[in-house]
Structure 1
Amino acid sequence: MKIKEIIVVEGRDDTARVKMAVDADTIETNGSAIGDTVIQQVRLAQETRGVIILTDPDFPGEKIRKTIAEAVPGCKHAFLPKHLAKAKRDKGIGVEHASLDSIRECLAHVHEEMEESESDITLDDLFDAGLIGGEASKRRRERLGVLLNIGYTNAKQLQKRLHMFQITKHDFIAALKTVMQEEADE
């Protein structure tokens, strides 16, 4: 699988793993303290070939994703679910621990960042669905993020990400039905 866009990852181990999974070029941020040089590289990549941000599914990875997306608008986003990025024997979480198939799968379902638009998915919809403020909310958001390929979000980020990636109410409801059916089957 050849990827036209340049993939932004956190470090060397992520680059090695991505290159084992797909034919692609990468830019490494080398941690969450992203310097001007990296931002300039990402800007140039976005202008010439496009960019896909693929960071670890953890707090530092989300911080890197947000920093780059704010500095370089229009990036695409690939999300690797936490459960697919865990190392054996609890040695960490990250792109470098994911299977090659998991990396290929998340790169096959990238989302293009759009200007946030008004969505027909309201805050009330999120409350009514038990995605905010309930005992099972976090687990439901995690599963919804996997099904919609938008990554895990906290309650505050969920509506923003649904709008940013223009998830339709139809797709939201379909994914939510799957989440609820899985809960009922447990």
Structure 2
Amino acid sequence: MKIKEIIVVEGKDDTVAIRNAVDADTIETNGSAIGKKVIEQIKLAKERRGVIVLTDPDYPGERIRKIVSQSVPGCQHAFLPKKEAVSKNGKNLGVENASPEAIRIALKDAQQEESDWDEQICWEELVALGLIGGKKARRRRERLGDLLKIGFTNGKQLYKRLIMFKISSEEFSKAIRQVIKEEKDE
């Protein structure tokens, strides 16, 4: 699978994992202290070929994603579910631990073409469904993020990503029904 866009990753091990999964070029941020030169490279990459951000599903990875998004608006995003990015010993979390298939799926989902979208899920609906506030909110958001392939978020981020990725009411409803069904089956 050849990827036209340049993929932004955190480090060398992530680049190796990407290249084991797909034919693609990467830009490494070298951690969350992203320098001006790296941001300039990402801006140029976005202008010339497009950019997909694929960072670790953890706090530093989300911080890098946020810095890149603010500095270079309009990047595409690919997300790996935490369960796909855990090392065999269960101690490390990162893109470098993901299987080539998991990486291909994440990148494929990031490349979906835009569709006409005029639906918007309201904040009150997220609260009513127990995604914001409450004992099960964090776990529900994590599972919902996996199902919708938008990554783990807090409540505000969830709301923003649903809009940013143009998640339809139908997609959202199907995913939240699955989350609730899984809870009942436990």
- Runs of 4+ deviating beyond 3 Å: none
Change (3 A) 1:111 1:147: farther
1:94 aligns with 2:99: no
- Write out per-residue CA displacement over residues 32-91 of structure 1, whole angstroms, 9 at most, x where no aligned residue: 011110011001100111000000001110010010111111100000011110112133
Q: Report the 3-state secondary structure (helix = DSSP H, G, I; strand = E; otherwise coil) of the residue aligned with 2:135.
A: coil
Identical aligned residues as a percent: 58
Per the alignment, residue 176 of structure 1 pairs with 176
1:31 aligns with 2:65: no
- State the Cα distance separating 1:120 from its structure 2 match: 2.6
Pairwise CA RMSD: 1.6
Task: Note the residue ranges of structure 2 that are not aligned, 5 or more in a row.
Answer: none
Report the residue type matching 1:172 in the other structure.
F
Per the alignment, residue 12 of structure 2 pairs with 12
- Write out per-residue CA displacement over residues 134-168 of structure 1, whole angstroms, 9 at most, x where no aligned residue: 11111110111011110000112111111111111
Distance 1:6 1:28 in 2: 10
Change (3 A) 1:111 1:127: farther
Aligned residue pairs: how many?
A: 183
- Write out per-residue CA displacement over residues 14-44 of structure 1, whole angstroms, 9 at most, x where no aligned residue: 0001000000000000010111100110011
Distance 2:165 2:83 in 1: 22
Task: Note the residue ranges of structure 1 that are not aligned, 5 or more in a row.
Answer: none
Distance 1:87 1:4 in 2: 28
Per the alignment, residue 130 of structure 1 pairs with 130
TM-score normalised by the chain length of structure 1? 0.94
Q: Is the 8 A contact 1:9 1:55 kept in 2?
A: yes
- Write out per-residue CA displacement over residues 92-123 of structure 1, whole angstroms, 9 at most, x where no aligned residue: 100001111111111111167x9xx9853111
